[in-house]
Amino acid sequence: MTSPSPVAVRRVPRHRRLEDASDAGLPEVCHATVASHGGATGGALLDVPDPATGEPLLRVEDAGPQTAAVAASTTARVARGDWAWLAQEDRARWLYVLAAELEARARPVGLTSALVTGRPVAAALHTDAARLVDAAFSAAGWADKLPAVGLRPRRGGAVVLRSSWRTPPAALAAAVTGALGVGLGVVLRPTPEAAPLALLLAGAVRAAGLPADLVSVVPGTAPGADKALLTHEDVLAAHADGGAEELRELAVALAELGRPLHERTDATGVDVVLDGADVEDVADALLDTVRGSAPARPGGSRVLVVAALADRLTERLTEGLAALRVGHPLDRATDVGPCPAADVHHRARALRGRRAALPGDLPAGGWWVLPTLVPLGRRAPVPPAGPVLGVRVVTGDDDVAPLLAGTTHLAVWGGDARRALRVLGAAAPRAVGLGGPATDDDAADALRLLRAVSS
């Protein structure tokens, strides 16, 4: 396999018009939404940096244990009131109103995602917005047919949804709408960078006419607040995303309380390219993954390609990466924006092995990483999140199976059906693609959480 040459990145022309950031409606300070506190909770203010510049974008008040406990109690009480006792058909009608309200807010949601995670705005406004609307309407559709999807109504209580830069807007919207559909309240527990999106969703709930505090927001990172939420008697289950080790520790802690944790482990993608695969189709799909950057694959991306196709695929990817535009996330021409977090930036930048000159048009201080193709050796670790693809040559199917541990998204390109099934049998991914990319089903993910609560 020919080693890829350093990727040259196309410069973004100066003075390109950016989307209006004010349309996102970002608050200067994000507060908890518990009505009894009137907004401010007295917690420390945490800075949320702009990933494009490294400068403060907004601040988030770090909610403490008392605020968290009040939020859980209030949300569960509101859910136990009129909401949980509505007929399923009536709840469904309210949730369709909520889905329509989310559809009306698709632009602010997309711009917020671009501003706080570096997701290119074209993808955020089109791909992500479409997924958001589909997920919200799909989840609303369960509310009047719960037994058909394996759910039963609950008479109040709350679920805690932890979110971060990893959490797609559609996944969060599906979980919120689905939980409301079974009669539960929702406490959103976002990390600082995820607080603006959580507040947008909670605002949509209020604007749709649903009861105040049926969905509450408790932003921040204070461990005491996490404990107060997850041990609260009214909290029935929790959903969280993150690394496997972090989620394992949380699952153990909740298991001791007899409460389920629905985990969304960081998406770790593997594309297996076998004989007969269409190299152009594979390359196009992989380049789309790079455009999605860290939010699309927080656990990194690898390509396992048979030797016969390795040189062709490497050459095609090198050309494609060189053509990607790295630029401001609010620029519709941008293919690759900045990394969503400083630690992601550090790991991805270190992988290049040497300093590479960034395009001069990029704002200084941002978390920028040039698209990178990395040849992987036998003991090479999974590449980090970011615009990074790791490529390893395999000699046959037997080489593939040991490399699939921890894979959440597995796509198999080429080969016959028997070979594809043999590869799939070596892993237990949550998303599978045969001859196409592996993508999440946001509605199905929310269903799994709610079935755990309904059991």
pLDDT tens-digit series, residues 238-270: 888 887 777 777 777 777 777 777 777 788 888
36-40, 287-291, 347-351: which has the highest mean pLDDT?
A: 287-291
Confidence at 14, pLDDT banded by 50, 70, 90: very low
Q: Average pLDDT of 345-359?
A: 73
30-34, 247-251, 315-319: which has the highest mean pLDDT?
A: 315-319
- Say if residue 11's pLDDT is above 50: no
Contact 54, 143 (CB under 8 A): no
Q: Average pLDDT of 70-98?
A: 93
- Say if residue 106's pLDDT is above 60: yes
Secondary structure class of 270 (helix, strand, coil)? strand
State how beta strands 261-265 and 158-163 pair: unpaired
Contact 386, 345 (CB under 8 A): yes
Confidence at 454, pLDDT banded by 50, 70, 90: low
Q: Poorest-confidence range of 58-72, 281-295, 315-329?
A: 281-295
Distance CA 323, CA 312 (A): 17
Tens-place pLDDT, residues 142-190: 888 888 878 888 888 999 999 999 999 999 999 999 999 999 999 999 9
- In one-letter notation, the amino acid at residue 152 is R
Tens-place pLDDT, residues 204-235: 999 999 998 999 999 999 989 988 998 899 99
Report the pLDDT value the prediction gives residue 148, as an integer from 0 to 100: 82
Q: Average pLDDT of 268-296?
A: 89
The larger pLDDT score, comparing residue 36 to residue 400, is at 400
Q: Which two tokens stand for residue 313?
A: 């695929």
Which residues, 6 or more positions from 22, have their beta carbon under 8 angstroms from its beta carbon? none
Distance CA 62, CA 68 (A): 10
Confidence at 12, pLDDT banded by 50, 70, 90: very low
- Say if residue 410's pLDDT is above 70: yes
Secondary structure class of 373 (helix, strand, coil)? strand
Distance CA 80, CA 67 (A): 20
Sheet strands (E) in 131-259:
158-163, 185-190, 215-217, 235-242
Report the pLDDT value the prediction gives residue 249, as an integer from 0 to 100: 78
Q: Poorest-confidence range of 107-121, 134-148, 418-432?
A: 418-432
Averaged pLDDT score across all residues of the chain = 86
Element (DSSP H or E) covering residue 397: helix 397-400
Report the pLDDT value the prediction gives residue 445, as an integer from 0 to 100: 72
- Say if residue 37's pLDDT is above 80: no
Contact 372, 387 (CB under 8 A): yes
Dihedral of CA atoms 367, 370, 371, 373 in degrees, nearest 10, equals: -120
30-66 core/surface letters (b: 16 or more CB in 10 A; e: else) = bbbbbeebeeebebeebebbbbbbbeebbbbbbbbee
45-54, 239-248, 363-372: which has the highest mean pLDDT?
A: 45-54
Q: Which residues pair with 29 in a beta bridge?
A: 59
- Say if residue 413's pLDDT is above 50: yes
Q: Average pLDDT of 344-365?
A: 77
Report the pLDDT value the prediction gives residue 355, as an integer from 0 to 100: 54
Dihedral of CA atoms 123, 165, 385, 130 in degrees, nearest 10, equals: -20
The larger pLDDT score, comparing residue 429 to residue 48, is at 48
Distance CA 254, CA 276 (A): 47
Write down the pTM of the prediction. Answer: 0.88
Report the pLDDT value the prediction gives residue 42, as an integer from 0 to 100: 67
Residue 62 main-chain phi, psi, to 5 deg: -80, 100
